[in-house]
Structure 1
Amino acid sequence: MTRTDHRFEAASGDDRPTAGSAFADLVVLMDRLRSPGGCRWDGEQTHESLVRYLIEEAYEVVEAIETPGGVDRALLLEELGDVLLQVVFHARVAEEAEDGFSIVDVIEALNAKMVRRHPHVFEERATTDGAQTGTSDDDGLEALTRRWDEIKKVEKPDRKDPFDGIPPALPALALGEKTLNKAAKAGLALPTDAAPASPVEPVREPRTQEPGERPARQVSPESVVPGSADEAEQRMGRDLLRMVAEARDLGVDPERALRRAVREYVAQNRGNA
């Protein structure tokens, strides 16, 4: 594969820049911001200081996709740009290190990885009539997923444990789902059939409710029996993990399901406080 490979050329009209030239402009812009005479704030950023912005921008992409009226394409366009900026930003910071890399290294590594992980697309295979094709009728989703996993094992031979490679900073529900997916592939038992833990009953201090006051429904940490907070946390953790396993069986994204429930709750109760 070369940089001029026709498979990766972007189509464009005569009056619009190509994807390559537009991306090059963004790289030049970032170089200007980080160079002497550029922006002081941009020049002082590090990989560590930028982490929060990458996470925030990613969630703003999710927000643009999951709007109540459907995908907000204008907002999605903007937020995808913000995520792309973070990628270029991190690559520019990395380039300044003695053993660093550039955005070109990032792109070339990504292109090579995607080609390597899609042999059914990029490796031509002979058909019965002698023609060449990059696809096969027996390449079902299950076979493609299995091949993807096999290729990743070759790429990352150091990952011996079924749970290696799971980002520990994932949101809790997504972390649970990823962990259970890995466990299922390894043939491990999932927690769906485990018996629920015994509930830990909170003890509330008696208090007089004011006239017209809404009944209190929340349980504060101070209202739990001393010594039982850890038990309550363990119970809730096991219950949540079982629900994640159930979501997996149903083909439901638990993070998305909870975000939807929260949005519906907010919509139903907005202005009622």
Structure 2
Amino acid sequence: MTATVVLLPYPGAGVPPAAFPFLRGARIVYAAGLTAEVADQLGAKPVPDSATLAAEAADVPLVLFATHREDAAVRALPGARVIAQPAGSGLVEAAQVMDTLRSPGGCPWDAAQTHDSLRQYLVEETYELLEAIEERDRPALREELGDVLLQVLFHARVAAEDAGEPFGIDDVAGELVDKLVGRHPHIFADGEHVHSPEHQELKWEELKQAEKRRLSIVDGVALGQPAAALAGKLGQRSGRAGIPLDLFPAGSGAGVELFRSAATARRAGVDPEGELRTVAKQFAADVRAAEANARAAGVDPATLEADGWRAYWPKPR
């Protein structure tokens, strides 16, 4: 087989330079994803059915241009040489779609949103992604990652319209690249060798502290995060600074006990938010199981009192 498949990151992306050598030797060029103008310049034809495509690829050299959406066409050429775009190229199309939705003539709802109005969706989508991770749900993970990415694209597009201090998605990506490179000098420069994940985490925090010129070890801790996660983060930060446990909040009360438990757990390498969520979700599952047991016995769960709940509660695993 002498077929070459050129995967385009999005429709209209253009011909990548890596494809030119194969175009010179091709007898047939098929295009799905190229603009009509570029397809005409190459003398490209519409992609035929899979059987025809496979038969022609067995006889003559051909080049097939297709986006990742043309899976059927690509599968018809299982032994083909594949020229793929760099990872992340598809993000360009996502940014273009967001731009279209937000621009004049686009979606009225998208055009009306602000950073403040979008906050609830950022929180909701983040928790839905967290649930997909916890449930090991791969299809949901893929979808929810896209929904979180949408929030980033959306906020960056809104920020680009700011009259006073605009910035766009390329600025966001550029700052991220600078941060990743700067925080990994052992990879991108001649920095000190990092010999473990724990060492890397410590170096990351040291570099962050120096970059941001923070005056306190608790500067940069997001105080709006869930309480168990906040207490855990403060426990971690204070542990690195050598603050002893006896200086944790003292006294009685649920708040003090919860803080000490969460902060101490994080110092021991346990994620208190994750642990608490696991226990809470198991409790919710036990409630549902007890209700189901009651219904199976012909009892309305709404009528259950303490002894009734005990009778139908699932056995410990």
> Above 0.5 in TM-score?
yes
Partner Cα separation in structure 1 for residue 249 and residue 158 of structure 2: 48
> Please, which of 142, 152, 157 is the counterpart of residue 77 of structure 1?
142
Matched, 1:64 2:132: yes
> Please, which of 102, 111, 121 is the counterpart of residue 34 of structure 1?
102
Matched, 1:14 2:82: yes
Aligned to 2:242: 187
Partner Cα separation in structure 1 for residue 153 and residue 207 of structure 2: 28
Question: How many Å apart are 1:83 and its aligned residue?
Answer: 0.3
Relative to structure 1, the CA distance from residue 261 to residue 192 in structure 2 (aligned partners, 3 Å threshold; closer, same or farther) is: farther
Relative to structure 1, the CA distance from residue 106 to residue 249 in structure 2 (aligned partners, 3 Å threshold; closer, same or farther) is: closer
1:179 alignment partner, SS class: helix
Residue type of the alignment partner of 1:33: L
Relative to structure 1, the CA distance from residue 64 to residue 77 in structure 2 (aligned partners, 3 Å threshold; closer, same or farther) is: same
Identical aligned residues as a percent: 45
2:82 alignment partner, SS class: coil
Aligned to 2:54: none
Question: How many Å apart are 1:115 and its aligned residue?
Answer: 0.5
Task: Work out whether residues 191 and 242 of structure 1, in 8 Å CA contact, stay in contact via their aligned partners in 2.
Answer: no
Residue type of the alignment partner of 1:261: V
Partner Cα separation in structure 2 for residue 179 and residue 63 of structure 1: 24
Task: Work out whether residues 191 and 245 of structure 1, in 8 Å CA contact, stay in contact via their aligned partners in 2.
Answer: no
Which has more strand, going by share of residues? 2
Matched, 1:168 2:168: no
Gaps of 5+ in 2: 1-67, 69-80, 292-300, 302-317
Between structure 1 and structure 2, the one with the greater Rg is: 2
When structure 1 is superposed on structure 2, of 26-35 and 185-194 the one drifting more is 185-194
Relative to structure 1, the CA distance from residue 26 to residue 246 in structure 2 (aligned partners, 3 Å threshold; closer, same or farther) is: same
Question: How many Å apart are 1:139 and its aligned residue?
Answer: 2.4
Matched, 1:241 2:259: yes
2:141 alignment partner, SS class: helix
Give the alignment of 1:141-220 within 5 angstroms. 141-157=197-213, 159-190=214-245, 197=252
Question: How many Å apart are 1:167 and its aligned residue?
Answer: 0.8
Relative to structure 1, the CA distance from residue 77 to residue 117 in structure 2 (aligned partners, 3 Å threshold; closer, same or farther) is: same
Partner Cα separation in structure 2 for residue 191 and residue 240 of structure 1: 15
Partner Cα separation in structure 1 for residue 111 and residue 196 of structure 2: 48
Residue type of the alignment partner of 1:45: Q
Matched, 1:51 2:119: yes
TM-score (norm 1): 0.71
Relative to structure 1, the CA distance from residue 19 to residue 249 in structure 2 (aligned partners, 3 Å threshold; closer, same or farther) is: closer
Question: How many Å apart are 1:188 and its aligned residue?
Answer: 1.5
Over the aligned positions, Cα root-mean-square deviation in angstroms equals 2.3
When structure 1 is superposed on structure 2, of 141-150 and 33-42 the one drifting more is 141-150
The one of the two structures with greater contact order (alpha-carbon pairs below 8 A, sep at least 6) is 2
Residue type of the alignment partner of 2:183: R
Count of residue pairs brought into register by the alignment: 211
Aligned to 1:256: 274
Partner Cα separation in structure 2 for residue 54 and residue 44 of structure 1: 16
Give the alignment of 1:123-142 within 5 angstroms. 123-124=189-190, 136=193, 139-142=195-198
Question: How many Å apart are 1:262 and its aligned residue?
Answer: 1.4
Residue type of the alignment partner of 1:73: R
Residue type of the alignment partner of 2:175: A
